[in-house]
Amino acid sequence: MSRGLWNILPKSYRRRAIGVTATIFLRALLNFAGIATLLPVLMLILNRDSLASSEHLMKLYEWLGCSSYTGFVVAICSIVVGVILVKNIVIVGLYRYERDYIQSLYKYLSERLYRSYYGRGLSFIKHSNSALLTRNVNSISLMFVAGVLKPIAAIVGEGLLMLLILGALVWYKPIAALLILLIFLPIVALFYASTRRQLHSIGERENSLQRLKSRIVSDTFRGYADVEVGGAFDFMLKRFNDALDDIVTLRKRHATLSMLPQMFAEVGLAVGLCALVIMGIAEGGEEIALLFGFFAIAAVRLIPSLRTIMSSWSTIRFNRHSIDTISEAMDYDFGSEEQERVPALELRNSIELRDLCFRFDDASEPVINNLSLSINRGERIGIRGSSGVGKTTLLNLILGLYSPTSGGIYIDGTRLCKDNVRSWQRSIGYVPQMVFIADITLAENIAFGHTAEDIDYELLDRVIELANLKEFVQSLPNGVNTHIGEQGCRLSGGQRQRVGIARALYKRADILVFDEATSSLDDKTEENINSAIRRLSTEDNSLTIIVIAHRESSLEYCDRVITLGENQRQ
C-alpha cells in the first residue's frame, strides 16, 4: 500500500510531504512537552517533600524567587498553563499547514481524475457508466485524502507521541512503562485480529453498492419518460431501496466496529488502575502513589492516542479501495496541452481517407473496412447507408474522436494523429442528432467554452441571425442571457439544432459536420434547417459540409452522396 500511496503523489507533493512529516513530528514533540510540564505539579501534589529532595525543583524555586511552598506551587501551575496555551497555539498553526496540504492534494486528484477520464476519449466514455465516473471524480478523491491520508498522518503523529511518552517512562519509571505495554499491546493485537478482514470487506462492499445506487438514480432521471410511461418506477425504487438497505446494514456494522477502540482503551485503563490500586494496598507507601500518578497522566494522554490510532487504522481499511481507483487514473498520461493554446489546423485543399479501417476493441469484425475517400475544400458531401453500417463511426474518425485501426486520415497531406487532433478539431463545427445543451445561458451555449465575459456579442448576433434564431431569442425573457434549462428542456427540436449550427458558426469553423441532425424533426422543421445549411454554403463557398442523413431530402443540396456498405472505395 505504501508504494501505491507514493506513486499517487506527484513530485511537487512528495517534496511538500517531507515538510508535513516534519510538522507531524513537531506536533508530537509539543504534545509531549505539554505532558512533561505536568510532572512537577504531580510531584508537588503527591509528595510535599519532593521540593527539598529534588535538585532541579530547588533550582527552579530559587530562580523564581519564591518565598513559600504555596507560592512556588502557584507559580509552577501558572507556568504549566502558559506553556500548554502556547503549545496549542503553535499546534493550530502546524495543523493548518497540514490541512492546506491535504485539501490542495484533494483538489489536484479530483481534477486529475476528471482530466484522466475525459482524456481517454469517446470509446472509453461510451463503455463506462457516466454515474460511476461522476462519483469517482466527486467522491473518491475526498475518500482518499480524508479516509486514507489524514488517518495516516494521525497514526504517525499519535504513534510518535506514544513512543516519546513510553521512552520517558522507561527512563524515569520503567515499571510504569512495562505496565502500559503489558496492558495495551494485547488490546491492539486483539483489535487488529478481530477487525482487519471485516473493515476491508465492508469498505469494498459499500463502494460497490454506492456505485450501483448512483447508476440507478442516474438511469431513473435520464430515462424519466420511459420509466414513467412504462410504469417502471416501482422496479427502479425497489432496486434503489435494496441497495440502500444493504448500505445501512454495512454502516451499522462499521459503526459498531468503530466503537471498539474506545471500549478496548477504557478497559485497558481500568485494568491498569486496578492493578496499581492492588499494588498500593499490598505494598503501601508514597512510591506507589507516585507511580499511580505517573500512570494516570500517561494513560490520560495515551488512551486518546491509542483510540485515534485504532480508529484511523479502521478508517484506512474502510477506504482502501480509493487507492486503487486513483492509482489507475494516475497511470494514464493525458498530456498537459491546453486546447485554447493550440492553433487551428485549417483545411486548404482536401481531406483524404486512405484505406481506412476501424474495429472496436470488443468486436471481431471491423465497422469500417478499407475505405478510401477524398473530400475537397468547399464540397458538400452526403453520407448515407443502413443502420449499423458505420456512418457515425466514420464521422467520429474524421472528428478525431476515434483512432483508425489501420490506414489513415490526411489533412492537406498531413496525417491526423494525437499530436495534431486538437488543432484539427478547432477547425470543425459539429452538429449531432441530439445537440448537447448545458444548463447555462443561451449565449454561453452558443459560444460554448467561453465565459460570459469573453463572448464576442457582435459575432454572437451575426451567427444567431444566420442560424435563424433571432425570432426565438426575441421571445426569451432575458434574450441571449436566458437560462434554457438542463439539456435544453425549454427548446424544441428545431431550436436545439439551430443552437448547434450557431455554435459551429461562432467557432468560425472551416468544416461543418452534421450527424443525423434532422432525423428526429418533422418535415417542415427539417426543411427549415436544410434551408439554413444551404444558405450557409451559398454565402461561403469555402465552407466544407459533411452530412449524414437517412432522408434523401436532407441530401439534396449535396454535391456528392456516398453510400456506405456498397463500395468502400470512392
Instruction: Find the CATH number of the domain harbouring 188.
Output: 1.20.1560.10
Radius of gyration of the chain (CA): 35
CA distances to 64, 85, 254, 421 from 42, in Å: 19, 19, 40, 74
Residue 517 grid coordinates: 441532425
Looking at the DSSP bridge assignments, the partners of residue 513 are 430, 546
The range of the structural domain enclosing residue 30 comes to 2-330
Considering the domain architecture, whether residues 440 and 553 belong to the same structural domain is answered as yes
Considering the domain architecture, whether residues 348 and 204 belong to the same structural domain is answered as no
- The tens digit of pLDDT for each residue in 229-256 reads 667 788 888 888 888 888 888 888 877 7
User: Is 474 among the domain residues?
Assistant: yes
Last residue of a domain, one of 330, 351, 370: 330
User: Where does 223-330 have alpha helices with state H?
Assistant: 224-229, 233-283, 286-318, 321-330
Considering the domain architecture, whether residues 410 and 384 belong to the same structural domain is answered as yes
Query: How many whole angstroms separate alpha carbon 258 and alpha carbon 148?
Result: 16
Whether the predicted pLDDT of 300 surpasses 70: no
User: Is 335 among the domain residues?
Assistant: no
Q: 81-95, 202-216, 527-541: which range is least confident on average?
A: 527-541
pLDDT, greater one: 460 or 41: 460
Considering the domain architecture, whether residues 273 and 322 belong to the same structural domain is answered as yes
Last residue of a domain, one of 330, 363, 395: 330
Considering the domain architecture, whether residues 451 and 549 belong to the same structural domain is answered as yes
Long-range CB contacts for residues 176-180, cutoff 8 Å, separation at least 24: 176/291, 176/294, 176/295, 176/298, 179/272, 179/275, 179/276, 179/295, 180/272, 180/295, 180/298, 180/299, 180/302
pLDDT, greater one: 484 or 137: 137
Across residues 45-54, what is the average pLDDT?
58
pLDDT for residue 112: 85
CB 467 within 8 A of CB 499: yes
- Percent of the chain at pLDDT > 70 equals 77
Q: How confident is the model at residue 437 (pLDDT cuts 50, 70, 90)?
A: confident
| Cα torsion 317, 318, 319, 323: sign | positive
- The amino acid at 340: E
Across residues 406-423, what is the average pLDDT?
89
pTM exceeding the 0.85 threshold for the entire prediction = no
User: Is 310 among the domain residues?
Assistant: yes
CB 542 within 8 A of CB 461: no
Considering the domain architecture, whether residues 236 and 132 belong to the same structural domain is answered as yes
User: Is 55 among the domain residues?
Assistant: yes
Q: How confident is the model at residue 409 (pLDDT cuts 50, 70, 90)?
A: very high
Q: How confident is the model at residue 569 (pLDDT cuts 50, 70, 90)?
A: very low
Query: How many whole angstroms separate alpha carbon 552 and alpha carbon 508?
Result: 28
Considering the domain architecture, whether residues 286 and 368 belong to the same structural domain is answered as no
Across residues 31-41, what is the average pLDDT?
71
**Can you give 9-54 as a three-state secondary structure string?**
CCHHHHHHHHHHHHHHHHHHHHHHHHHHCHHHHHHHHHCCCHHHHC
Residue 399 grid coordinates: 472528428
| Sheet strands (E) in 349-445 | 350-358, 368-376, 380-384, 406-411, 414-415, 428-431
Q: Which of 52, 324, 345, 303 is nearest to 188 (CA)?
A: 303
pLDDT, greater one: 322 or 554: 322
CATH number at residue 503: 3.40.50.300
Q: How confident is the model at residue 411 (pLDDT cuts 50, 70, 90)?
A: very high
pLDDT for residue 570: 45
Residue 465 grid coordinates: 441571425
Helix (H) or strand (E) holding 199: helix 174-222
Task: Give the number of other CB atoms < 10 A from CB of residue 324.
Answer: 13
CA distances to 11, 107, 421, 532 from 515, in Å: 44, 37, 19, 16
User: Is 570 among the domain residues?
Assistant: no
- The tens digit of pLDDT for each residue in 144-170 reads 888 888 888 888 888 888 788 777 777
SS3 category, 200 = helix
pLDDT for residue 268: 65
User: Is 265 among the domain residues?
Assistant: yes
Across residues 467-479, what is the average pLDDT?
85
By residue count, the chain amounts to: 570
User: Is 568 among the domain residues?
Assistant: no
Considering the domain architecture, whether residues 262 and 376 belong to the same structural domain is answered as no
Angle of CA points 507, 513, 518, to nearest 5°: 110
Whether the predicted pLDDT of 174 surpasses 80: no
pLDDT, greater one: 329 or 289: 329
Considering the domain architecture, whether residues 437 and 462 belong to the same structural domain is answered as yes
Last residue of a domain, one of 330, 363, 397: 330
CA distances to 136, 161, 404 from 239, in Å: 21, 48, 40
- The tens digit of pLDDT for each residue in 249-275 reads 888 887 777 667 667 666 766 666 666
Query: How many whole angstroms separate alpha carbon 444 and alpha carbon 435?
Result: 14
Considering the domain architecture, whether residues 237 and 386 belong to the same structural domain is answered as no
Q: How confident is the model at residue 339 (pLDDT cuts 50, 70, 90)?
A: very low
Domain count, the chain: 2
Task: Give the number of other CB atoms < 10 A from CB of residue 471.
Answer: 8
Considering the domain architecture, whether residues 10 and 68 belong to the same structural domain is answered as yes
User: Where does 362-492 have alpha helices with state H?
Assistant: 391-398, 421-425, 442-446, 457-466, 470-475
Considering the domain architecture, whether residues 313 and 208 belong to the same structural domain is answered as yes
User: Is 569 among the domain residues?
Assistant: no
Query: How many whole angstroms separate alpha carbon 476 and alpha carbon 488?
Result: 13
